[in-house]
Structure 1
């Protein structure tokens, strides 16, 4: 499954909390409704991204795991 996205962030190789922190920073200049694709390798990132979106109001449109790479599609709140 793939989703459409407007911006891309590669945080593979980074561990908690860096994937979420870099995602937060990347979302700042984006327009509301923009979808950011984030690719991570930290297995804990599924929990982290779910909690991040719940707390910030951003929408976790979709996420998947493929051979140890976790891909998240986050729509910026607005």
Structure 2
């Protein structure tokens, strides 16, 4: 999936991936896609829940070797 920006949240534990995601999304414009690279297992639940709470769009995830990429579209 093509992203407009990448956020490296590898090595961060809950709640830091969500904190960094929230900060980064404030700098983006509606329609842009952010790729969040995280290795915290909680991100699989936390990121979609954050999207639902904030009105942003969770586009899905792609597993990698040592982390998972989560894709969020700014609404």
Does TM, normalized by the shorter one, top 0.5? yes
2:29 is the alignment partner of 1:31: yes
Gaps of 5+ in 2: none
- Counterpart-to-counterpart distance in 1, 2:65 and 2:7: 18
When the two chains are superposed, the root-mean-square deviation of aligned CA atoms in Å is: 0.9
Which shows bigger deviation, 66-75 or 35-44?
66-75
- Encode CA deviations 1:24-70: one digit per residue, 9 max, x unaligned: 00010110011001100001100000100110111111212223411
From 7, 19, 22, give the equivalent of 1:21: 19
2:62 is the alignment partner of 1:64: yes
Count of aligned residue pairs for this structure pair? 75
Gaps of 5+ in 1: none
TM-score scaled to structure 1, two decimals?
A: 0.90
